[in-house]
A and B are shown apart, each in its own frame.
Chain A
Amino acid sequence: MEALTDWLTAYRLPIGETIADFVDFLNTHAQGGFDLVSDTLEGLVEGATDALLAVPAPVVVVAVTALAWVLQRRIGFTLFAAASLLLIVNLGLWEATIETLVLVLAASVICMVVGVPIGILAAHRPRLNAAIRPVLDLMQTIPTFVYLIPTLILFGLGVVPGLISTIVFAIAAPIRLTALGVSNVPASLIDAGDAFGCTAWQRLWRIELPHALPSIRAGLTQCIMLSLSMVVIAALVGADGLGKPVVRALNTVNIEKGFEAGLAIVIVAILLDRLCRARAKPA
């Protein structure tokens, strides 16, 4: 028995080394590309953050409250939006909240822009769907920390590796839900579109996407929630935002700071989730 174990361990397969070599290879030979991506994304995120922070906090609170009313028309939710944002200002977490908000929205926008077209393609091409399914599974199940390391090496410390890791983690939701929505269009609707002479493009815009819209919307909310859950991990590699005080609180065993930042994250989650939902139909 021992001989077998010895034999098994004698020729260790260089899986980790291979991947590390590959990352090194990318780092040395494609550094320019990664730097370009890194600089662009960092510029965008920081620009948006600075722009939002240039506006006085009360103005943003009023704007978000108004948006809550316009989108949902519910007194309770509107009051909650105002009160919760004022609480964040009160706790001194306003700047971190804006940073987190921008990070989450940037990740979600990129996920939707890339994920929805991939989902549509997957719905139309069963073989593509079969091919990407294991990749999506892998992206969702592999522990985040594992791919945080190579993104850190490739994109450097800061907000970008956090953003990329967030996208890797969250993009599966819009892809899957878009594909689901598009492939679930009833045959009678597809027939009707074809029988009246739709082009493939017309069929997509007039039948498939409207039918898939609720599903795509669910993909968006899921994507936002998944992005938000990455905030603390993004902070580990240097992204600013509400994750930072949490990480700091963990390192210094600071209960109050940890809870306050956690509360702010929850508030952001509730606000974004409710804002993105379809308005409840009046009974």
Chain B
Amino acid sequence: MPRARETGVSNAVEVRGLDVLFEARGRRAQRTALAALDRGESRDALREASGVVAGVVDASLDVAEGSIVVLMGLSGSGKSSLLRAVNGLNPSARGSIGIKTAQGMVDVCGLSTRGLRRLRRHSLAMVFQQFGLLPWATVAENVAFGLSVRGESRARRDAMVKHQLELVGLDNWAEAPIASLSGGMQQRVGLARAFATEADILLMDEPFSALDPLIREHLQSELLALQARLGRTILFVSHDLDEALRLGSRIVIMDGGRIVQDGTPEDIVFRPANDYVANFARHVNPLSVLTARTVMQPLLSTAVDANGFAAEIDIDCPVGELLALTAKSDTPLLVLDQGAPAGRVDRKAVLDALAERMGSR
């Protein structure tokens, strides 16, 4: 079940009990398949029996405004199917997908063709693994695509394209044909095209998977920098845990069409829900995920004397920083959760936490 960690922030996307079926021809086939899934029948059994492929089964998920949530899983786990249901590229068989718009929450599943088109033009934008750029058009024309589809004036379009190209560092390439760009540059065009519509919600379907590792890391940093400036809501599909840990404020792991765990990067790595999740996390370096939240010893009483501590740190402080701080002083650090004292960290706690996780590898 989704956790309401970001209290006080409203959700941009709310998925409830979503099922996505493929190859289910007709209402009856769909009903039969859903009934079978409700009985707990496995995806494989369903496919054997009726040919229906269950892409997503009973998925519920919240994406808080301004956050990056990463959908992760092996191929065929349903992560892309879920993402594509959010903007209606995959039809949903059951459930609801609430999208926050200027007119309030809108359920994608109950929309007319027109309503869906409106939503896609104004509230949702998408970035694709295969880029999906028009090869016969220039870079500028591609960035302007969403704007021209919804009929923005030439002047507005040009201004927006110029701005977006500057953001992704391609302002000198506006008139270049797409084919003359490298893969990394092409995906920057894909990002600029998605950001250009000013949609609040961005859907990213393994946008960096087709790029080589160095470029991929580079674009991840650029995405984080862009996100820091623009503060959009991003639902990101990845099969790479390192990428997920880097980008995600929350990670949702899928297996066989179902969500098996939904938590913070630390939850996924140190408190995996099952072996499938643990397998993903096996090779993760604890230095890159561990924070004060896991390392600290909770305070027994909230009445603390601030003088007994060397410094105050936030609960999301990475372990690397804790290591540096505790190395300098024998006095413990005070951990604050939203400004309130929550725990203490000393040198031994840091070393114990690291030793425990390093040892288990």
Contacts and interface: CB of A to CB of B under 8 A. Distances in A.
B121 interface: yes
A191 B89 contact: yes
A209 to B, nearest CB: 10
Interface stretch (B70-78, B131-139, B319-327): B131-139
Contacts of A186: 130
A186 B136 CA distance: 14
A194 B120 contact: yes
A197 interface: yes
A262 B128 CA distance: 55
A202 interface: yes
Interface string B120-151: 11001110111111101100000001100110
A198 B126 CA distance: 13
A211 to B, nearest CB: 8
A184 to B, nearest CB: 13
A39 B89 CA distance: 51
Contacts of A211: 136
A192 B128 contact: yes
Contacts of B136: 210-211, 213
A90 B154 CA distance: 54
Contact of B128 (A188, A202, A213): A188
B87 interface: yes
Interface string A175-196: 0000000000010110111111
B203 to A, nearest CB: 8
B216 interface: no
Interface residues of A, number: 18
Interface in A188-235: 188-189, 191-199, 202, 206-207, 210-211, 213
Contact of A197 (B118, B132, B137): B118
B134 A207 contact: yes
B149 A197 contact: yes
Interface residues of B, number: 26
Contacts of A210: 134, 136-137
B234 to A, nearest CB: 15
| Interface of chain A, main secondary structure | helix
Contact of A189 (B125, B126, B134): B134
A213 B128 CA distance: 24
Contacts of B131: 188
Contacts of B124: 195
B120 A188 contact: no
B162 interface: no
A192 B150 contact: no
B197 interface: yes
Given A188-B128, A210-B136, A194 B146 contact: no
A196 B128 contact: no
B150 A197 contact: yes
B132 A191 contact: yes
A24 B137 CA distance: 54
Contacts of A195: 87, 89, 120, 124-126, 128, 132, 203
B149 A202 contact: yes
14 contacts: A188-B132, A192-B133, A192-B134, A195-B87, A195-B128, A195-B132, A196-B125, A197-B120, A197-B121, A197-B146, A198-B117, A202-B149, A206-B145, A210-B137
Given A189-B132, A194-B120, 20 more contacts: A186-B130, A188-B128, A188-B132, A191-B89, A191-B126, A192-B126, A192-B128, A192-B145, A195-B87, A195-B89, A195-B124, A195-B203, A196-B125, A196-B126, A196-B145, A196-B193, A197-B149, A206-B134, A210-B137, A211-B136
